[in-house]
Each structure stands twice: as structure tokens, then as C-alpha cells.
């Protein structure tokens, strides 16, 4: 692939969200000017605070926000400023049923199902501001996975809802929800993070078993042709399947390596375990990780789906939104020296 500027990269079509339902007329979708991302802005402070966490950490529930309306299956969360939450969600209208008898067709074991990808916008009190549908009826890619915000765009992957399938990387303008298609990928992709220092985009496949890397300074194949990743890294950790991640930056504590914060769950021996980790972007090695045992009011581990992180009044604050359809945002702070 030829080296070029990012401006020349965007050869794929750019389009507005297909359908935006605005529920709070006259209320801006996002603050203007757009603020810096909370995670990357406070990188060193977050990493330092995380280094004091452990198995005995007591997590204090400092806020519980009921999110208005049907949230479908929340997959990713970004906090933009103090009063906006953007949630990626999947609305499923037909299940992905198994082919049965161990049958594999084109690398996958199930039918595609059907549904729609959404971005839902809430204010800081959980009031629903708008709901944008990002995919057309009948689209085979409709699973909107974990998302990241880099201070200008929200980055997302819209994938088939099955392993070893396909996905499309998109960027979304939070001020308008205008969506630009960037490249097409020959695998399911979920969580995505944008390393603003290198131009790299890192994405996780089904179960976060592999991390793939693309770079925005290189020309993508014209959509719908597939663009090959510049690297694929096997995830060496089986402690948790990461659901949603946030780019933190290049902290001094880890010799300025690029890192992300990830949250997720895994099922083993009939039980589920939750955890959050700070992960090396290049190697996928978890540099620090802690178990999370908090359960939502509906009985789900809080690390089941979206996560975001910030420093608020000098304290580490982690945002979880685990429940489907009837969602509550759980905001936790660790108790110092616990």
C-alpha cells in the first residue's frame, strides 16, 4: 500500500446516519467545541491510580443513572464532556441460529441473523437525546461493537454478528452523527481504539482472541474490497474476553508504550468472571489487571458490556453499562488503600 496523507485515505463513501430520531429538540448532540477524551487526557493519572488496585479493592458506587428507553444490547460507551454519553448498541430482529451438527460454512457456524446498529445519545441524567440507526434493513453487518473517542471522532466497527465473518470500520462525527466508511475487514471485529500519536487503529476479533492493527496513513482498498491489517497479534491472556476498550496514551510508567484500558468477562466452569486491564497495544500483554465482582441490579456482572474511564476530582472513576434493553449506568470509584 502506498503511503499518503489521511485526507487522501478517505476514498470510501461518506454518509449521514440513515435515520436519526431526535427526542430533545434544540439540545445539541455533543458539546461544542468538542472536549478532549477523558481517558487519554488523564493517561498518567489513570495508570498510576490503576496500579493501586487489587483483589481487595473496595469499589464505591458513586452514581447510578437510569438510561431512558430501550437500549437494545449496549456494546460500547464514550463519555464526551461531563454531560454526554454515546452508546453503541445492537438491535436484533432475527437470531443467529446455528447450522447444527458442527457444520461450518465460509468459516462460521451460524446463520447471519438480522438487526440494526445504533448510536444512542444520553445526557448526564440518562435522558435520551437522540437515537441514530447506522445500518439499513437487511444489512448483513449490523453489530456495533466497542467504541472509542479521540477528541474529534467516535470510532466504531459494524460487523456481522458471528465469528470469522466481516466488519466495516467507520468514524462518526459526534456533533452531527455523520458517518464515514474507512475500510472493510475480512473478520469479525469488535472493540476499536485509535492511537492518536501513531495513527494506528487496533481492533479485537470475536472473543478478543486476536488484535489487528491498521494505520490511517496508508491507503485503504476501495470499499467493499477488504484491506489487510498491518499486523495481527494473538491475545496471550485468557482471563477475560474484552468487550470494550479505551485508548489511554503512552504513559511514562510503561516506558511510553501505547496502552488501552479494556473491560470484559469470561465463562468458565459454569460461572462468569469479570475484569478490567491495562493492555499493551503492540503485544496485547495485560500490564495490570484486576478482577471485578460487582453485579448490576438485574444480576449481570458490570463488566459485561461497555466501559469508560476518567479522573474526576482527582479520583479514578469507571463507568459500566451492563444490562440489555433496560439499562443503568453504574459509576464506581475505588476506595483508597483498600
**Phi and psi, residue 40, nearest 5°:** -70, -30
Q: Does residue 5 register a pLDDT over 90?
A: no
Is residue 118 within 8 Å of 88, Cβ to Cβ? yes
Give the span between the Cα atoms of 291 and 294, in whole angstroms: 10
Q: Report residue 17's pLDDT band, with 50, 70 and 90 as the boundaries.
A: low
Q: Report residue 14's pLDDT band, with 50, 70 and 90 as the boundaries.
A: very low
Residue 193 pairs with which residues in a beta bridge? Answer: 202
For 112, residues 6+ apart whose C-beta sits below 8 A from its C-beta are 96, 140, 160, 161, 162, 165
Q: What is the residue extent of each domain of the chain? A: 30-335
Phi-psi region of 109 (alpha: psi -120 to 50; beta: other; left: phi over 0): alpha
Give the span between the Cα atoms of 263 and 246, in whole angstroms: 9
Residue of 222, 225, 226 whose CA lies nearest to 212 = 226
Q: What is the pLDDT of residue 246?
A: 97
Rg (CA), the chain: 19
Per residue, the 3-state secondary structure of the chain, as one string, reads CCECCHHHHCCCCEEECCEEEECCCCCCCCCCCCCCCHHHHCHHHHHHHHCCCCCCCCEEEEEEEECCCCCCEEEEEEECCCCEEEEEEEEEEECCCECCCCCCECCECECCCEEEEEEEEEECCCCEEEEEECCCCCCCCCEECCCEECCCCEEEEEECCCCCCCEEEEEECCCCCEEEEEEEECCCCCCEEEECCCCEEEEECHHHCEEEEEECCECCCCCCCECCCCEEEECCCCCCEEEEEEEEECCHHHCCCCEEEEEEEEEECCEEEEEEEEEECCCCCEEEEEEECCECCCCCEHHHCCEEEEEECCEEEEEECCCCCCCEEEEEEECCCC
For 66, residues 6+ apart whose C-beta sits below 8 A from its C-beta are 126, 327, 328
Residue of 134, 221, 239, 226 whose CA lies nearest to 188 = 226
What percentage of the chain has pLDDT greater than the value 70? 95
Residue of 14, 17, 10, 16 whose CA lies nearest to 227 = 10
For 154, residues 6+ apart whose C-beta sits below 8 A from its C-beta are 78, 86, 119, 147, 148, 171, 172, 173, 174
Convert the pLDDT of each residue in 174-229 to its tens digit.
999 999 999 999 999 999 999 999 999 999 999 899 999 999 999 999 999 999 99
Give the span between the Cα atoms of 193 and 154, in whole angstroms: 10
The CATH fold of domain 30-335: Tachylectin-2; Chain A (2.115.10)
Q: Report residue 16's pLDDT band, with 50, 70 and 90 as the boundaries.
A: low
Residue of 36, 39, 47 whose CA lies nearest to 257 = 47
Convert the pLDDT of each residue in 27-81 to its tens digit.
999 999 999 998 888 999 999 999 999 999 999 999 999 999 999 999 999 999 9
Over residues 74-90, mean pLDDT:
97
Amino acid at each position: 500500500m502506498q503511503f499518503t496523507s489521511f485526507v487522501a485515505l478517505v476514498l470510501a463513501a461518506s454518509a449521514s446516519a440513515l435515520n436519526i430520531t431526535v427526542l430533545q429538540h434544540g439540545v445539541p448532540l455533543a458539546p461544542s467545541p468538542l472536549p478532549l477524551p477523558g481517558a487519554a487526557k488523564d493517561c498518567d493519572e489513570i495508570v498510576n491510580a490503576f496500579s493501586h488496585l487489587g483483589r481487595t479493592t473496595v469499589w464505591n458506587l458513586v452514581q447510578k443513572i437510569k438510561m431512558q428507553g430501550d437500549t437494545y444490547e449496549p456494546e460500547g460507551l464514550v463519555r464526551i464532556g461531563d454531560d454526554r454519553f454515546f452508546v453503541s448498541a445492537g438491535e436484533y430482529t432475527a437470531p443467529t441460529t446455528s447450522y447444527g451438527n458442527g457444520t461450518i460454512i465460509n468459516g462460521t457456524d451460524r446463520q447471519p441473523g438480522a438487526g440494526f446498529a445504533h448510536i444512542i445519545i444520553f445526557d448526564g441524567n440518562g435522558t435520551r437525546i437522540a437515537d441514530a440507526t447506522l445500518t439499513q434493513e437487511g444489512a448483513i453487518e449490523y453489530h456495533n461493537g466497542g467504541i472509542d473517542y479521540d477528541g474529534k471522532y467516535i470510532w466504531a466497527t459494524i460487523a456481522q454478528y458471528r465469528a470469522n465473518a466481516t466488519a466495516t470500520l467507520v468514524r462518526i462525527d459526534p456533533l452531527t452523527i455523520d458517518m464515514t466508511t474507512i475500510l472493510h475487514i475480512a473478520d469479525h471485529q469488535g472493540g476499536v481504539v485509535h492511537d492518536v500519536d501513531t495513527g494506528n487503529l487496533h481492533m479485537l476479533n470475536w472473543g478478543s482472541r486476536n488484535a489487528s492493527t491498521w494505520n490511517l496513513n496508508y491507503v485503504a482498498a476501495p470499499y467493499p474490497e477488504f484491506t489487510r491489517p498491518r499486523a495481527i497479534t494473538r491475545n496471550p491472556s485468557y482471563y477475560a474476553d474484552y468487550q470494550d476498550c479505551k485508548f489511554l496514551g503512552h504513559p511514562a510508567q510503561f516506558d511510553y508504550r501505547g496502552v488501552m484500558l479494556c473491560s470484559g468477562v469470561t465463562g468458565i466452569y459454569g460461572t462468569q468472571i469479570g475484569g478490567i486491564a491495562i493492555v499493551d497495544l503492540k503485544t496485547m500483554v495485560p500490564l495490570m489487571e484486576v478482577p471485578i465482582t460487582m453485579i448490576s441490579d438485574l444480576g449481570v456482572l458490570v463488566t459485561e458490556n461497555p466501559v469508560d474511564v476518567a479522573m474526576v476530582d482527582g479520583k479514578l472513576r469507571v463507568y459500566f453499562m451492563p444490562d440489555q434493553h433496560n439499562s443503568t449506568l453504574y459509576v464506581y470509584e475505588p476506595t483508597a488503600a483498600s
